[in-house]
Structure 1
């Protein structure tokens, strides 16, 4: 089974307001495991870079100015993802931007039905806990110390590891290798359980005597028959 873990970086939050893609990162999975095949492109958004977006991913308009346009990489991108399921953290956001770029070029858009949203998976499995990528990396003990900025390929690689844990580790369905057992993840309450002393079920002397008296009243009990 082939899946593509995908992440993007953008100039803002809404493609309908003129914001564009600036980076695409994809990691190929086969039977839920990375194959080593990736797709990674920086993109020239043909516009300025808002300061808020720059603080998130660190990609300046100057750095992106000599990078290819989405129109120049779209064929390679579509060939890489082919008809595979797309695993995305907050799928609606990335799919909206990708589809806006595809529609701008007259390509058929991608249906949401072919995406798996790992945010929804995490919230269903860990209600009330944080579901961002950093929090999930902490929960599953995945090293993300090199993540100083958001980056599409780096985040896709981390998400591939998170996704593997969300579906149950390397043996899906058996719940092997899940989150740390040392304590609750951030945002969860710790439940303290007080150990109770073991109960004694041995009868008292009075109870044993009462039982013997009761048995003595039985006529022809089965345990005394030959």
Structure 2
């Protein structure tokens, strides 16, 4: 039975770091006997795994006596991102320190238009242990025209970009950033991944960057942020709900990722 896109997006968040995920999956490929025992015990009607790959990894760590495996939960609870968030936080707390996500990168782009190319991108990398951060911000020459509508939003002009590097010139640097992360965080980050995919396809490059775990603050905040009308919260609405109205230069990629990081950290306190 297929699940709504909201749930599938929520399920992409991982509590495990890249090294732990890779090691556990490699071990499972060699011996699935303990996993099959666990699945027989855990799979019942109307349940859902928060993240099935995380479940697999927790089974490996349980077999190694490092933690108890994650349990599935009632399917109906998955329809509330508030419930989903509580399960994520619980799983994160139950994960041994050496296995937890350590390096997350908050990602955002600004583009020539809604289906266009990148003119700026930003990543704030946060160490989840000490909460230290590193900021990356870059303007790019999109080699395409910026629409008037897009300019009215981000205020980045064609003239400003004419001597900037192209995406092709920065591609390896960008991909190396993603390869260094345990998880990518963003507010409607699937849109930005779509932009990144479009840029890569334009230069005939097809890596699986979209396969990285993601934590989308828009989806996770959907049933946490209270609005007059039930809908997915915009970033500024999430900030206002948690912190009050702030004077932030929204639609600047760096300012947006710094605001998104605040929302992400606040959600994990819930």
Distance in 1, matches of 2:219 and 2:158, equals 33
Q: Relative to total residues, which structure has the larger helix share, 1 or 2?
A: 2
Query: Which position in structure 1 is the counterpart of 2:246?
Result: 144
SS state at 2:126 partner:
strand
CA gap of 1:72–1:160, structure 2 versus 1, over 3 A, is same
SS state at 1:154 partner:
helix
CA gap of 1:28–1:142, structure 2 versus 1, over 3 A, is farther
1:159 matched to 2:256? The reply is no
SS state at 2:124 partner:
strand
TM-score scaled by length of structure 1: 0.67
Query: Which position in structure 2 is the counterpart of 1:184?
Result: none
Distance in 2, matches of 1:93 and 1:130, equals 14
Deviates more, 1:92-101 or 1:124-133: 124-133
CA gap of 1:129–1:96, structure 2 versus 1, over 3 A, is closer
CA gap of 1:142–1:107, structure 2 versus 1, over 3 A, is farther
5 Å-filtered alignment, 1:42-121, equals 42-84=139-181, 85-105=183-203, 106-112=205-211, 114-121=213-220
Query: Which position in structure 1 is the counterpart of 2:126?
Result: 29
Task: Give deviations 1:178-215, integer Å, cap 9, x for gaps.
Answer: xxxxxxxxxxxxxxxxxxxxxxxxxxxxxxxxxxxxxx
Unmatched 5+ stretches in structure 2:
1-101
Task: Using the TM superposition, give the Cα deviation of residue 113 of structure 1 relative to its aligned residue in structure 2, in angstroms.
Answer: 5.2
SS state at 2:239 partner:
helix
Distance in 2, matches of 1:8 and 1:33, equals 26
> Cα RMSD between the aligned structures?
2.0
SS state at 1:124 partner:
coil
Query: Which position in structure 2 is the counterpart of 1:13?
Result: 114
Unmatched 5+ stretches in structure 1:
169-174, 176-226
> 4+ residue stretches of structure 1 with deviation over 3 A?
none
TM-score scaled by length of structure 2: 0.56
Instruction: Give the paired residue count.
Output: 164
